[in-house]
Amino acid sequence: MELANIEKLLEKYFEATTTVQEEQELQLYFSQDNVAPHLQEYQPMFQHFANLLEEQYTRNVPLQPRKNYLKWISVAAVFIFMSTIGITYYVDAQERAKAEIAYAQFKESMTLVSESFNTGASHINHLNQFTETTNKFIITENN
């Protein structure tokens, strides 16, 4: 490509009126070794743009988004905490119920014992009368 054309393109380039194709021509011209001396000061600019295009994204694309583990851990912690409290409370209540049943049974049997004891005791009661009278009798004899 002739020099005059390049100069014209360069002029247009700085006014930003060049098309993408024309800019590619400029890029091509400045990427070769024999650049006209008075244009050499622009060479690093185009070279730099060319260099920049070679940079690449090297990292792997992480498609599994990082999960917010903390959130789920806290949910799990709350769940475990609540269920521990629930279970202890439930076990406690069951033990209490068992104990109450046992208490009621014990109380019932004890009432039974005391009732039969009382009936037994009521039969013995009139013997007291007997001792009383003998006592009186003995006392009077002594006197």
Partner 1 sequence: MKQADFLHMILPFKDKLYRLAKRLLVSNEEAEDATQEVLLKLWSKKTKIAEFNNVEAFAMTMTKNYCLDKLKSKQASNLKLVHSNYKDEHTSLQKQVEVRDSVNFVHQILEELPPQQKIIIQLRDVEQYDFEEIAKVVNMNPTAIRVALSRARKYVRQELIKKHNYGVS
Contact residues for partner 1, defined by CB under 8 A: 13-17, 19-20, 23-24, 33, 41-45, 47-49, 51-53, 55-59, 61-63, 65
User: Are 10 and 30 a contacting pair, CB within 8 Å?
Assistant: no
- C-beta of 55 vs 141, nearer to partner 1: 55
Q: How far is the CB of 60 from partner 1 (least distance, A)?
A: 9
Q: How far is the CB of 4 from partner 1 (least distance, A)?
A: 19
Rg (C-alpha) for the chain, rounded Å, is 56
Q: How far is the CB of 41 from partner 1 (least distance, A)?
A: 4
- C-beta of 31 vs 133, nearer to partner 1: 31
Q: How far is the CB of 76 from partner 1 (least distance, A)?
A: 24
Q: Which of 115, 119, 118 is nearest to 107 (CA)?
A: 115
Q: What are phi and psi of 35, to 5 degrees?
A: -100, 140
User: Are 10 and 39 a contacting pair, CB within 8 Å?
Assistant: yes
Encoding tokens for residue 130? 């007997």
- C-beta of 2 vs 55, nearer to partner 1: 55
- C-beta of 4 vs 20, nearer to partner 1: 20
Q: Rounded distance, CA 42 to CA 121, Å?
A: 128
